[in-house]
A = this chain, B = another copy of it.
């Protein structure tokens, strides 16, 4: 199965709007913050004790690398010499400070050079992986290969040290990332040694004796290193680490046809999607360890649900779609795409969330802090900020939004898989596909296909949809694993699809303690939430939703989606502390709800995705 790069696809609609903000605001904003915080200058590798410059952190390479990757994706459609200049000058610094043997890392050059390849937990190979992804992207965008040559030299060193000589003080990366980057390098170079190095890291994981000696406070499961990857039964540990590893596992399974590895991927995917994922696509529910916890443990106020983890889940799901088309993968990718990933950036593109809780109750926080737990317990921030000390999410969003087209299609000789619906024009391998649609706001999708006569178009039936029509008739094509396989008989053929898109109130499994007795309004792939600031500062705890009521929709230009206004009840105020419940009639009212990703754009507010079922 081949994938279609975003470079072959021109997007319109919702994602084009987000991409434009990403290009014009987010990318320069993140650049400015990274410049101010010393991340770019750190590539000079001249920091020393007593120096005025801030001390580099061991993950700084990766922050800038993700920014370069995002910039490269943007350069594919928007040539920009000034932007290239920033990248080129950074690459020059990398070249200048690359060691003779190929080594490059800011921290382990300027701060602790004697700790190279010594501490598993310190993100050294993670940084190498991100730099490699950036180098590949920049090469593809501009044709300039200096950065890539530098990185290949470094990767060759890594192969030597880790795979050939085993001379490092650990066996596999403490933070996965390089594994998937090596697959990208293999795909680009077709040099099997990079594929083999990726396989080596993946297969050595959970077996390395040196790794076992280096576990931090969080234990080996935190690093997905307690058992060999092929034995995985559930998603575990640090959620971003997990997703990046699973991405590489899926890539390798696809390329090598390794059924055992694919089965492990499917197990961790299913566990993630059906036991440990927020309805927003957020994963990693605990702040301590930024990690997966246990099945059904999905608290809302205390949710961690890191932006990077939702992005990682989408990337993993996308890879699974390309290995084995099953709509469950694209369903999950879509959930993460429209909800828990882009909630990480403000509508204006300027500010970021690292954690993405599903509830904010300012009064509950105040009371807990004042009378119960003190200040030390974890509380997600309530308004986005422009920079975090740990700043992985902002550039991750930038590269994710800039390469959204990657999600749309994959194909083999017989079939083109249409995984997602977006206003778009694509051209690849003699095939042209145009999608005319207002998706995710409307279910109508007109798909015009050319160059596909004699092939099949496999169109995904979204999991949220219970009725699909084609050309006004109920879709009759055979459906397999959530894809309808439609024979294409014309040189140019139009498919008028309609996915019935209703407002639906979703309940969570009774085992999810936080959601017992509650429902969540969804429409298509979009998860809604209520903000008190949009609702006369009502106490959201006193609201219950009328699941048999009516929901009105108003399009918001600011958000690019519909705002919903739904029938609800508000607990009647009372002077009594306790009273006969049968005498307490709630008051009917309307509640405005907005797409989850757009919360916290209108001032400090309480927010809830899950509200009581009325």
Within 8 A of B (CB), among A566-608: 571-582, 584
Chain multiplicity (copies): 2
> What's the tally of chain A residues with a CB closer than 8 Å to chain B?
61
In the assembled complex, which residues on chain B have CB atoms less than 8 Å from the CB atom of A509?
574, 576-579
Q: A293-B371, A364-B513, A377-B373 are in contact. Are A580 and B506 (CB under 8 A)?
A: yes
Residues of A near any B CB (own CB < 8 A) = 273-275, 277, 279, 285-288, 293-294, 296-297, 299, 302, 361, 363-364, 367, 370-374, 377-378, 504-513, 516-517, 519-520, 539, 541-542, 544, 547-548, 571-582, 584, 612-613
User: What residue in chain B is nearest A292 (Cβ atoms)?
Assistant: B371
Among the listed B505, B548, B582, which residue makes an inter-chain contact with A580, where contact means beta carbons less than 8 Å apart? B505
For A584, list chain B residues within 8 Å (CB): 507
- Please report the C-alpha to C-alpha distance between residue A574 and residue B372 in the assembled complex, in whole angstroms: 35
In whole angstroms, what is the CA distance A581 to B504 when docked? 8
- A505-B274 Cα distance, complex, nearest whole Å: 36
CA distance in complex: A565, B367 (Å): 36
Looking at A279, A580, A613, which has the most chain B CB atoms within 10 Å of its CB? A580
**B510:A579 contact, CB within 8 angstroms:** no
- Given that A513-B364, A542-B516 are contacting pairs, would A578 and B371 also be in contact in the complex, using a CB cutoff of 8 Å? no
Would you call A505 and B547 a contact (CB within 8 A)? Answer: no
CA–CA, A505 and B579, complex, Å: 8
Whole-angstrom CA separation of A277 from B578 in the bound complex: 10
A582 CA to B513 CA, complexed, in Å? 19
> How far does the Cβ of A540 sit from chain B's closest Cβ, in whole Å?
10
Residues of B within 8 A of A612 (CB): 516-517
B367 contacts A378, CB within 8 Å? no
In contact, A517 and B519 (Cβ under 8 angstroms): no
Q: Is the CB of A506 within 8 A of B579?
A: yes
A408 CB → nearest B CB, Å: 25
State which of B286, B364, B505 has its C-beta within 8 Å of the C-beta of A582. Answer: B505
What is the CA–CA distance of A374 and B287 in the complex, to the nearest angstrom? Answer: 12
Per a CB cutoff under 8 Å, which of B370, B374, B504, B541 touches A516?
B541
Residues of chain B within 8 A of A507, CB atoms compared? 578-581, 584
In the complex, what's the smallest C-beta–C-beta distance from A203 to chain B, in angstroms?
Answer: 30
Provide the residues of chain B in CB contact with A378, threshold 8 Å.
372
